[in-house]
């Protein structure tokens, strides 16, 4: 028994050494952004799971190269980091923007499900269309504009609309016909010419520069920017997967959501889209 105890103790010690060695090796890698390390340490300390640290680092590096990392308010991705239980129910989708604006759902019955194979063999978060969503109530709203990029895969058409993003009554959604739609207040609603059919993946982009709005799908803009009298400025609360009043829901995968408090330029948006598409092979 003494020998066995000694062997087990040595084995555990060696296992810990190799784990530390692997982390130290990654930490010393000159290609690792310091922001990646800071976020990784925060997530692990919180009991979360890092899914693909290399991909996280790629995205952060791309944003820094384009000068947009400091404009990011929420960068959440099923293949970056989540907190989930043994049944893959997601309680936290971690924000790696440096702002710690994590999207949270502490009620078990309302937690979406992390799944290992949503797009190109990569993970996604499944929203059931009836009760699951994630919330954040701490993020400071945009002041001059915004950009949202998200990888969607709807699995069923809603009776009226599937809300995949809402902030204080301003919404991005799919209509029953799969049409992309922005609800921005009186005189500001915008029906896109773009659609996203059931069981189809799309990298959707939305920009608002303070007066004009635009939609993109898989790198293609639906039309020239449209002037709107609505606004998405200074909204401080967001919900992913449902309307805030829980009247309408999204059914399907929402793989990631990137939110910036500025309207990205075409070059900035395309660079980030290229990194995301290179990982997920969407189009």
pLDDT of residue 66: 98
pLDDT of residue 188: 64
Task: Determine the Cα–Cα distance for residues 142 and 160; give it in Å rounded to an integer.
Answer: 28
- Name the residue with tokens 């919404």: 171
Which residue, 174, 165, 142, 146, is CA-closest to 243? 165
- Asked, for residue 220, whether it belongs to a domain, the answer is yes
164 close to 241: Cβ distance less than 8 angstroms: yes
pLDDT of residue 58: 97
88 close to 51: Cβ distance less than 8 angstroms: no
The residues of the chain scoring below 70 in pLDDT are: 1-30, 140-144, 158-171, 176, 184-188, 224, 228-237, 246-247
> C-alpha angle with apex 278: 82 to 206, nearest 5 degrees?
75
Task: Determine the Cα–Cα distance for residues 206 and 214; give it in Å rounded to an integer.
Answer: 6
The total domain count for the chain is 1
The count of other CB atoms within 10 Å of the CB of residue 237 is 15
**Residue 201, token pair as written in the block:** 């993946």
pLDDT of residue 23: 45
**Residue 281, token pair as written in the block:** 């092979």
The count of other CB atoms within 10 Å of the CB of residue 28 is 8
- Asked, for residue 40, whether it belongs to a domain, the answer is no
Q: Which value, in Å, is the radius of gyration of the alpha carbons in the chain?
A: 20
- Asked, for residue 148, whether it belongs to a domain, the answer is yes
- Tell me phi and psi for residue 4, to 5 degrees: -65, -45
- Asked, for residue 38, whether it belongs to a domain, the answer is no
pLDDT of residue 20: 38
- Asked, for residue 4, whether it belongs to a domain, the answer is no
256 close to 276: Cβ distance less than 8 angstroms: yes
- Asked, for residue 202, whether it belongs to a domain, the answer is yes
pLDDT of residue 38: 97
> C-alpha angle with apex 156: 160 to 86, nearest 5 degrees?
120
96-100 contacts at long range (C-beta below 8 A, 24 or more positions apart)? 96/35, 96/36, 96/39, 96/56, 96/59, 96/60, 97/69, 97/72, 97/73, 98/35, 98/38, 98/39, 98/69, 98/72, 99/72, 99/73, 99/74, 99/139, 100/42
- Asked, for residue 27, whether it belongs to a domain, the answer is no
Strand partners, 122: 119
First-last CA distance in the chain: 59
Q: How confident is the model over 96-148, as pLDDT tens digits?
A: 999 999 999 999 999 999 999 999 999 999 999 999 999 987 776 655 678 88
Q: Tell me, what CATH number does 106's domain have? A: 2.60.120.200
pLDDT of residue 236: 58
The count of other CB atoms within 10 Å of the CB of residue 137 is 10
Domain that includes residue 64, residue range: 49-280
Q: Is 96 helix (H, G, I), strand (E, B) or coil?
A: coil
Q: How confident is the model over 167-180, as pLDDT tens digits?
A: 555 667 777 678 78
pLDDT of residue 186: 52
Q: Find the helix packing angle between 53-65 and 34-45, rounded to 10°.
A: 140
Q: Is 19 helix (H, G, I), strand (E, B) or coil?
A: helix
pLDDT of residue 115: 97
- Asked, for residue 88, whether it belongs to a domain, the answer is yes
């Amino acid at each position: 028994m003494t020998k066995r105890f000694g062997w087990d103790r040595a084995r555990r010690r060696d296992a810990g050494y190799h784990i530390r060695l692997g982390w130290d090796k990654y930490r010393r890698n000159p290609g690792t952004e310091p922001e990646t390390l800071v976020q990784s340490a925060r997530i692990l300390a919180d009991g979360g799971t890092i899914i693909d640290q290399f991909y996280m680092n790629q995205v952060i590096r791309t944003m820094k190269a384009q000068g947009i990392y400091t404009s990011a308010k929420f960068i959440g991705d099923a293949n970056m980091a989540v907190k989930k239980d043994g049944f893959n129910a997601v309680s936290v989708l971690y924000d790696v923007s440096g702002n710690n604006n994590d999207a949270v759902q502490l009620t078990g019955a309302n937690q979406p499900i992390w799944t290992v194979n949503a797009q190109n063999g990569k993970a996604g978060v499944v929203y059931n269309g009836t009760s699951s969503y994630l919330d954040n109530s701490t993020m400071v709203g945009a002041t001059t504009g915004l950009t949202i990029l998200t990888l969607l895969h709807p699995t069923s058409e809603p009776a009226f609309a599937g809300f995949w993003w809402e902030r204080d009554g301003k919404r991005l959604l799919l209509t029953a016909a799969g049409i992309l739609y922005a609800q921005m207040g009186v005189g500001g609603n915008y029906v896109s010419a773009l659609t996203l059919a059931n069981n189809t993946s799309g990298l959707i982009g939305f920009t608002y520069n303070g007066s004009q709005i635009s939609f993109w799908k898989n790198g293609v803009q639906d039309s020239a920017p449209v002037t709107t009298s609505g606004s998405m400025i200074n909204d401080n609360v967001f919900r992913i997967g449902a309307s805030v009043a829980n009247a309408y829901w999204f059914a399907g995968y929402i793989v990631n959501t990137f939110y910036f408090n500025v309207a990205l330029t075409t070059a900035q948006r395309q660079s980030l889209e290229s990194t995301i598409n290179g990982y997920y092979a969407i189009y």
